[in-house]
Chain A
Amino acid sequence: MRNRIIIAAFLLFSGSTVYRILTGDASWAVTTRGGDPSQVTLKIWAGNAAPIDHWRTDSAVDAARTLNRQLEEEGSGVRVTIDAINDPASWGNYKKKFLMAADSHLAPDIICTGHEDIASWASAGLIVPLADTVAEMRAKDPAFADVREDLWESTMFRGKIWGVPQDSEARVLFYSKPLLAKMGWTPARMKTLERGIQDGSFTTDDMIALAEKAVASGVVPRGRGYWHRPTRGSDHIQKYYAFGGRIDDPETGRLVADQQSLTRWFTFQRRIVDAGITPENYLGTEWGIWHNTVSHGKALFWEGGIWNWSSWGSKYAADLGGEAYLHKSVGYAMPPAGSKGGTPATLVHPLVYLVPKAKASGQMQQKLALRLLALMTTPEINTRHALDSSHLAILKSQLDYAPYKENTFLYGISKLGGKSFFQPNHVRFSQWFDIVMGAMEEAQSGRRSPSQAAADAIALMRIDVGEDNLVFR
């Protein structure tokens, strides 16, 4: 008898669960957390966040204090508390977690992520559009009017603005001043390098030649002339761009399949190995080795993100004298153009704050969330993050804000000039990106010739990106 009851309960339970899964359920509804309507909790998440990135969420706590003061002045009974999660998991895992949370109406009220997610999350109807035009966004709040004009482009998708920029960076060309000095370069001449790159007279060809000379003359050992990022990543897209490649076509809104530019880019990747300025089998070098090598001035040129600066100062070159040592021995310039007269360009990948819809967060607090975001977009708050994590200013007023201005490195980068570009907000960009990275690895390793690798990439694009999403050049 006892067992019969167990069997019956078991069947009932499994059956009802299976039924619920198969039918989906309508029992979820928008609810407010807690019973007291005057106490509002705003949840905010930031992903792939190291402890030094804590301002991405902690600035919300600061801003909430201001917000509560304003609410009190307005005579409103509402008070806001912040529930912040600074999530260290990888981007992939973080984004998965968000999708499932959003499906269960448990997403946060504000989520900080890479701008590229706007495309798929907006398509899926998980986030709210914030404005139709930049002008409309600027008119919403003086704080938004202060945001660097160019950054809004990274938050645009299907003619709307979907996010508020959180930070920005640049990927630049670093060089070792002591090594250049060994080759007979005076500090004055090093300044001309920066100018030459700016006006397009110093190109990747010149950089390769100079690095080859350094290897030939024994200033650096073979393979230490030029080190790019040792793993897959957006940094490499800069080279594709430098050789005339474009990721998307603004007119059609499609992604670009450009075999010629890919071939030119891949030829460069193999050429630096053949020239002996980058080691054979270099891709896959462990990051720690990369940091130790470049920050110690053991390579003549290297290209990488400016955020590395703080790690070099506080960790890898700490025993050499930290940031003071870096300022003395590391120079930086825009990554050079691929051909004479070209404009140097850096890829900028802003993180943005997005506001999930009620269907995703289970809350009707989008207006309040946006108001909080405006209060988080101040020179004081953003500069703290910029200085701690070595990121660039996102506000125009930060360039006149003393604490930012006093940081020679960041201020110097902000003033470098040149062109910055973004990766497109396109639903198929992730596929496009994975394909070109894989092909680049094949070309650099010499397993495929540059033109073969480019042809492979195009063939894969037809399948994984889809011909409807491509323009062929």
Chain B
Amino acid sequence: MQKTAKELSQEDTFTLLSPTFFLVLLFFLLPVLIILLMSFTNVSTDTGFDQWRWVGLSNYVKILNHPATGQHLWITLKYVAVTLLLFNVGLGLAIALLTTSIGGKTGTAFRALWLLPRITPSVIYVLMWKYLGADAPYGLINSFLAPLGVTPQNWVAAQPFLFIVLVNGFIGASFGMIIFTSAIEAIPRDYLRAAMIDGANYFQRVRHIILPMIKWPLLFVVTFQTLSLLTSFEQIMILNDGAGGMEVWSLWAYHAALNNYYGNFQWGFGGALAMVLVVIGVGFCWVYLKFFKFSELVSQPKIDAL
């Protein structure tokens, strides 16, 4: 019997999506469920995986009562907001605009340069920043500042927030840079040519043509990178391990659950911390999806309107 086009379409859809379903179920949904369950237990290295017990909401109560909770939350939000706006979106966009307007090999060379922080092993990339900011005679920043009469010091420790933003920002900028660059390159040349004939200067072209046309990539980068920054801690961990009040939430979870100095990992408490982070992340997603009207982006699949 001949199948209808609709039936065929459903089966094809399933085939196309089944690997994704499979991986998402196994490596996102199930683990999150496990972490959620763990967050109601006291499971830790010393209980092992067979002597733990249920402790109800006490891990969450502990977060509420913890003297450091407010500080961790505040530094997390501040770090995400500043890094996102200045670097991941702001600088990423600036580099994309500048390199595309220059174009050619020079543009490519600058983009390759900006990719370096992303592809260098974090340990070495962070080491580079430590030496930029190091005390005299090692540090480069001091050798520029010394002639101005600034007393040399270890700037990484003196300005911890500035450095966690710089270190993460220079990595983050390249994500936006790559996505914006391709979006800009995809704008039909006629539009820009027409604007130039109308006498629009570069800034007017950016303002009135380029920015409106890369709206979706912009919103995507904002959303995606908010989540990336919320869950990122590796660079901060290597730079100063959260010293100077720089322990962001994900680093706190990491320290509690996975990596404290002498190895008694608190999976239960860490799980609760991770769940809070997930809730914050989902909250951001919800706001963005609503506020940016993502529903428009996902509205109508073109080809179904055969």
Instruction: Give yes or no for direct A-B contact (beta carbon below 8 Å).
Output: yes
- Where the two chains meet, the residues of A that have a C-beta atom closer than 8 Å to any C-beta of B are 3-4, 6-7, 10, 14, 17-18, 21, 90-93, 95-96, 99, 103, 114, 116-117, 119-121, 123-126, 223, 231-232, 279-286, 289, 292, 423, 427-431, 433-434, 437-438, 441, 445, 447, 456, 459-460, 463
Of chain B, the residue at the smallest CB distance from A119 is B46
Complexed CA–CA distance, A284 and B12 (Å): 56
Q: Which of A17, A18, A96, A286 gathers the greatest number of chain B CB atoms within 10 Å?
A: A286
Complexed CA–CA distance, A120 and B44 (Å): 9
Given A6-B18, A10-B18, A124-B46, CB of A289 within 8 Å of CB of B134: yes
Complexed CA–CA distance, A3 and B17 (Å): 12
**Is residue B110 contacting chain A, with contact meaning CB distance below 8 A?**
no
Check if A3 sits within 8 Å of B243, measured CB to CB: no
Q: Which of B46, B65, B264 gathers the greatest number of chain A CB atoms within 10 Å?
A: B264
Write out the residue numbers on chain B whose beta carbons fall within 8 Å of the beta carbon of A286.
127, 130-131, 134, 138
Given A10-B22, A427-B264, A463-B62, CB of A123 within 8 Å of CB of B158: no
Check if A17 sits within 8 Å of B263, measured CB to CB: no
Complexed CA–CA distance, A18 and B261 (Å): 34
Check if A279 sits within 8 Å of B154, measured CB to CB: yes
Complexed CA–CA distance, A91 and B261 (Å): 8
Min CB distance, B149 to chain A, in Å?
Answer: 16
Check if B153 sits within 8 Å of A124, measured CB to CB: no
Check if A445 sits within 8 Å of B244, measured CB to CB: yes
Q: Which of B44, B242, B260 gathers the greatest number of chain A CB atoms within 10 Å?
A: B260
- Pick the interface stretch among B47-55, B77-85, B182-190, B207-215: B47-55
Check if A433 sits within 8 Å of B261, measured CB to CB: yes
**Is residue B234 contacting chain A, with contact meaning CB distance below 8 A?**
no
Of chain B, the residue at the smallest CB distance from A222 is B151
Known: A423-B262, A430-B262, A430-B263. 20 other contacts (CB 8 A): A3-B11, A6-B15, A14-B25, A18-B30, A99-B265, A116-B262, A119-B46, A120-B46, A124-B46, A125-B51, A280-B158, A281-B153, A281-B157, A286-B138, A427-B264, A428-B264, A431-B260, A431-B266, A456-B67, A460-B67
Min CB distance, B13 to chain A, in Å?
Answer: 10
Min CB distance, A436 to chain B, in Å?
Answer: 11
Complexed CA–CA distance, A95 and B156 (Å): 30
Check if A282 sits within 8 Å of B157, measured CB to CB: yes
User: How many positions in chain B have a CB within 8 Å of any CB in the partner chain?
Assistant: 52
Q: List 14 A-B contacts (CB under 8 A).
A: A3-B11, A3-B14, A14-B25, A17-B26, A95-B45, A95-B263, A125-B48, A281-B135, A281-B153, A281-B158, A283-B243, A427-B45, A430-B264, A438-B243
Of chain A, the residue at the smallest CB distance from B15 is A3
Q: Secondary structure of the A side of the interface?
A: helix
Question: Which residues 1-32 of B sit at the A interface, judged by CB distance below 8 A?
Answer: 11-12, 14-15, 18, 21-22, 25-26, 30
Complexed CA–CA distance, A92 and B62 (Å): 24
**Is residue B66 contacting chain A, with contact meaning CB distance below 8 A?**
yes
Min CB distance, B251 to chain A, in Å?
Answer: 12
Min CB distance, A94 to chain B, in Å?
Answer: 9
Check if A285 sits within 8 Å of B26, measured CB to CB: no
Write out the residue numbers on chain A whose beta carbons fall within 8 Å of the beta carbon of B15.
3, 6
Write out the residue numbers on chain B whose beta carbons fall within 8 Å of the beta carbon of A428.
264
A445 touches which one: B51, B157, B263, B265 (CB < 8 A)? B157
Question: Which residues 214-258 of B sit at the A interface, judged by CB distance below 8 A?
Answer: 240-245, 255, 258
Write out the residue numbers on chain B whose beta carbons fall within 8 Å of the beta carbon of A232.
241, 261
Check if B14 sits within 8 Å of A120, measured CB to CB: no
